[in-house]
Amino acid sequence: MIHSKETEKQPVNDKNRLCTGSEILLKALASEGVEVIFGYPGGAILPTYDEIYKLGMNHILARHEQGAIHAAEGYARITQKPGVCIVTSGPGATNVVTGIADAMMDSLPLVVITGQVGTQLIGTDAFQEADMLGITMPITKHNFQIRSVDELAQTVKEAFHIAVTGRPGPVLIDLPKDISQQVTTFRYEKKIHLPGYQPTTKPNKQQIRKVLEKLQTAKKPVLLAGAGVLHAQASEELIQFTERNQLPLVNTLLGLGSYPGNNELHLGMGGMHGTYAANMALHETDFLINIGSRFDDRLTGVLEHFAPYATIAHIDIDPAEIGKNIYVDIPVVGDAKAALTMLLQGKGPNAEHDDWRKQTQSWKREYPLWFKRDKEVIKPQELIQKLYEQTNGEAIVTTDVGQHQMWAAQFFAYNKPNRWVTSGGLGTMGFGFPAAIGAQIAEPELPVLAITGDAGFQMTLQEMSILQELQLPVKIIIVNNASLGMVRQWQQLFHGERYSHSLFPIQPDFSKLADAYSIKAIKVEKLSELDGAIEETLSHAGPVLLEVCVAKEENVYPMICPGQGHHCMEGVKPS
């Protein structure tokens, strides 16, 4: 009886019970529905780790903070939920800076909690102190430093709100050690009061009408779809709008998957290593509708040659992106889903652009992506193509940056949203493999292929520990060309073939490395062995490291060389 009485009283007691800052933090994370934390402990964050121990939260221990934050990014990219990363002060915190900058550039929602030295020590150059507020100010959507335990719960609430709403982005909370130990009652308010933060999600009706009106008269319309469509989960609407108006569609690198890559209207990726059809369409178009892309320089090439004949409409949730790089005729501030829904409610099609559609289709047919097959040597493009075929495209692909990234963008068709995780804006080496871990945790049932280069893999390969520990079935595919491939390509083309520090004459034995982490390893050097190796990799239940030695001097084509426009692509056809 006594026992049950106590249980009845529990809620009342709990309400007034004093909690430490750490406990409040974790309770707040639980209230936000956080399923998994990626992190690494250390001095200033120890009280929080003590709470993680007591509460038994799902925490993934990386072997380097950079691994933790890229995994959180991969998780965020797939789930659209904020990836949560907890690290200690000083070196722990500075080790996540690359990931924060990466998430900022690619608009990924993250909540990063960095430990900080005690409030009395802040500003004294104390042991393991770094000014994280100052360091991350330009690379976060917003950052906080907690000055009192009473503001902690509300700050966490605001951090999550800021990370996912409007244009998503990373938010950092710097938590001094003494505050994580101070106590107060835990109350989690539902309300948020951020008068200076009111993102516009609903577009202006008149502007939407202007887009539709222009569409009625356009002869050569093109739709450019970026990652904003994925963030807004607006792929369905995009497909409907494109089909209804029979619009040729170009994807940005990060927008791949927002529209089925195997659809007839899909012209491929635009930009430096985009398809001929996509780039010619961008050059010839008379009406370009950009939804959720920020006109990155790798997409536009030289601005004076970008879409020279086009009226440009730009739909973006971030008003600062409109008119930043490109003059825009029809600016529309709003969420991609809201905008597409409004566009679909407008008048139906009666524009005549059959000739244009035929033209874009003929470009697509006549100038497909190509590579020269070799009898013995494995061509990286063929590797990607075979990965696509053998997975039926039903896989999540993550990459680093460089040649393998471009081939993975070109030769793997992304037919569904949230299947493609790549470091676009910052171009971060070492991103792909840990991001795959986060993606696999988000989607345990789907095959996850971490396609990396031999160089990038060596930047975060210690995260094989996570695969070993959790038996995550991530397939690491190392496209090994014994070099910094894209650097080597640029040195060949623009630096007189002076390969300054880009070749790796000595390679580690990747199989032995995998072996050290108790991960199955396969190495292939001949084309004849490739099919079998891929099959073996995919059919194995646990993690596999597949090292594929590919043609060392293969270059990524076609290409818009620096200073050129979309109409001046090189390597469009085999020479």
Partner 1 sequence: MKRTITVLVHNRSGVLNRITGLFSRRQYNIDSITVGVTENPSISRMTFVVVVDSMENVEQVIKQLHKQIDVLKIKDITDEATVARELVLVRIMATSVQRGEIASLAETFRAQAIDIGKESMTLQVTGNTEKVEAFIELVKPYGIQEVARTGVTAINRSAKMSTDTSRLTLIN
Catalytic residues, by residue number, are 65, 127-128, 177, 486
Q: Which is nearer to partner 1, 36 or 135 (CB)?
A: 135
Count Cα neighbours of 156 within 13 Å in the Cβ-side half-sphere: 28
* Residue 318 makes contact with partner 1 by CB under 8 A: yes
Q: Is residue 63 within 8 Å of 69, Cβ to Cβ?
A: no
Name the nearest CA neighbour of 387 among 535, 264, 270. Answer: 535
Burial profile 288-325: b = 16 or more Cβ within 10 angstroms, e = fewer: bbbbbbbbbebbbbeeebbbeebbbbbbbbbeebbeeb
* Residue 320 makes contact with partner 1 by CB under 8 A: yes
Options 199-207, 210-218, 336-344, 520-528: segment touching partner 1 (CB under 8 A): 199-207
The pair of structure tokens assigned to 220 is: 């050569």
Contacts of partner 1 in 207-226 (CB under 8 A): 207
Count Cα neighbours of 32 within 13 Å in the Cβ-side half-sphere: 27
The pair of structure tokens assigned to 78 is: 């797939």
SS3 262: coil
Closest contact distance (angstroms) between CB of 121 and partner 1 is 17
* Residue 138 makes contact with partner 1 by CB under 8 A: yes
Q: Is residue 62 within 8 Å of 40, Cβ to Cβ?
A: yes
For residue 404, the one-letter residue type is H
Q: Which is nearer to partner 1, 56 or 134 (CB)?
A: 134
The DSSP output letter for 88 is: -
φ, ψ for residue 458, nearest 5 deg = -70, -10
Options 23-31, 71-79, 331-339, 439-447: segment touching partner 1 (CB under 8 A): 331-339
Closest contact distance (angstroms) between CB of 338 and partner 1 is 12
Q: Which of 42, 90, 203, 417 binds partner 1 (CB under 8 A)?
A: 203
Closest contact distance (angstroms) between CB of 346 and partner 1 is 18
Closest contact distance (angstroms) between CB of 158 and partner 1 is 9
Closest contact distance (angstroms) between CB of 186 and partner 1 is 24
Q: What is the dihedral of CA 398, 403, 407, 409, to 10 degrees?
A: 50
Options 118-126, 236-244, 313-321, 544-552: segment touching partner 1 (CB under 8 A): 313-321
Q: Which of 55, 209, 296, 319 binds partner 1 (CB under 8 A)?
A: 319
Q: Which of 133, 377, 470, 538 binds partner 1 (CB under 8 A)?
A: 133
Closest contact distance (angstroms) between CB of 321 and partner 1 is 9
* Residue 196 makes contact with partner 1 by CB under 8 A: yes
Q: How many chain residues are in contact with partner 1, going by CB under 8 A?
A: 26
Signed CA dihedral, 43, 48, 53, 58: sign only: negative
Q: Which of 72, 103, 122, 322 binds partner 1 (CB under 8 A)?
A: 322
Residue 520 CA to residue 535 CA, distance in Å, equals: 14
* Residue 168 makes contact with partner 1 by CB under 8 A: no
Closest contact distance (angstroms) between CB of 55 and partner 1 is 30
- Residue whose token pair is 């043609």: 551
* Residue 334 makes contact with partner 1 by CB under 8 A: yes
* Residue 390 makes contact with partner 1 by CB under 8 A: no
* Residue 172 makes contact with partner 1 by CB under 8 A: no
Q: Which is nearer to partner 1, 204 or 361 (CB)?
A: 204
* Residue 142 makes contact with partner 1 by CB under 8 A: yes
Closest contact distance (angstroms) between CB of 566 and partner 1 is 23
* Residue 119 makes contact with partner 1 by CB under 8 A: no
Residue 59 CA to residue 35 CA, distance in Å, equals: 9
Options 63-71, 247-255, 327-335, 486-494: segment touching partner 1 (CB under 8 A): 327-335
Q: Which of 292, 331, 425, 438 binds partner 1 (CB under 8 A)?
A: 331
Closest contact distance (angstroms) between CB of 80 and partner 1 is 21
Query: Which strands form 142-145's sheet, in the order they lie side by side?
Result: 59-61, 37-39, 83-87, 110-116, 170-176, 142-145
The DSSP string of 355-401 is: HHHHHHHHHHHHS-------SSBBPHHHHHHHHHHHHTT-SEEEE-S
Name the nearest CA neighbour of 314 among 334, 338, 297, 285. Answer: 334
Options 191-199, 213-221, 443-451, 512-520: segment touching partner 1 (CB under 8 A): 191-199
Q: Is residue 251 within 8 Å of 269, Cβ to Cβ?
A: yes
* Residue 162 makes contact with partner 1 by CB under 8 A: yes
* Residue 303 makes contact with partner 1 by CB under 8 A: no
Alpha-carbon distance values, 349 to 204, 242, 337, 340 (Å)? 21, 11, 20, 15
Q: Which of 30, 137, 183, 303 binds partner 1 (CB under 8 A)?
A: 137
- Residues of this chain that bind partner 1 (CB under 8 A): 133-134, 137-138, 141-142, 145, 162, 194-197, 200, 203-204, 207, 318-320, 322-324, 327, 331, 333-334
